Amino acid sequence: EFVFLLAERWQLDQAARYQAVEILERFMIKQVEQTFRSPRGARKGSERAQGKGCGSRKDAICDTFVLRLVSCVQLASKLSLHYQIVNSDTALKFLQSLKYSYTKQELLESELAILKTLHFQINVSTPLTYVELLLEVLGHNGCLLPAKPLHEMCMHVLDFSYLMRDAIYDTLLNIAIENSTPSQLQVTKFLAVKEDFMLLAVGIISTSAFILNPKHWNQVVEHLNCITGITSQSILEFSYAVLTHIIGSITP
């Protein structure tokens, strides 16, 4: 939500904000991995030497989180909007409005820290890329729904799905295992589903088609099944999970 609001404030397009979210998540995962991969003894020794407690690493991550988030948005803007990048002055002004006193040097170092942590591999795919690619194929295949309204609805539903992601995937997991209390093993195996951008994309398009015109929904699902190989049942279940949270209640 923070990334979306900041991208809106800086008038960045949707590609930039989804890119920023993906960069931020990959960076934070690496930060956590580095913390737990450090030798336990070395971590304790370092913490004692600096007079810090066992939560020092976590505190350091939390203390710089807003700075890192802003840097991720900056990097994303440079990838997708070469003519409208978020420069250091704009970023610093925003951080100062939140009572942070970072310098331009610290802002530059933050960007470099993210780039080095991710080995400079920040131009990653996002669900938006998959959605727009599938919409283009649907158009060529003779989808009965007009392209522009379907695209606009998909953007709204994709935003919603990002903001409500945990709740939606929890519902989807419960549907898949037919149980409201999944085991740790089931949760672990389900991570592959949460990382499947193609499944997310077909679910977004299917849900959007249903909202726009339920009469054409079956045709859209059939096309998506043929294009991606994802079963109609899986598409149905994903759409059900999203619609449940859009409506705010469980419906038939």
What are the structural domains of the chain? 1-36+51-118 (1.10.472.10), 127-247 (no CATH)
Put simply, whether the predicted model's pTM sits higher than 0.75 gets the answer: yes
Locate tokens 């519902």: which residue? Answer: 171
Give the pLDDT confidence score for residue 81 in this predicted structure: 63
- pLDDT value at residue 1: 93
Which residues of the chain fall short of a pLDDT of 70? 38-55, 81-83, 249-252
Per residue in 89-109, pLDDT (tens digit) is 999 999 999 999 999 999 999
For residue 53, the model assigns a pLDDT of 46
**What are 54-67's pLDDT values in tens digits?**
467 777 788 899 99
Q: What is the pLDDT of residue 250?
A: 56
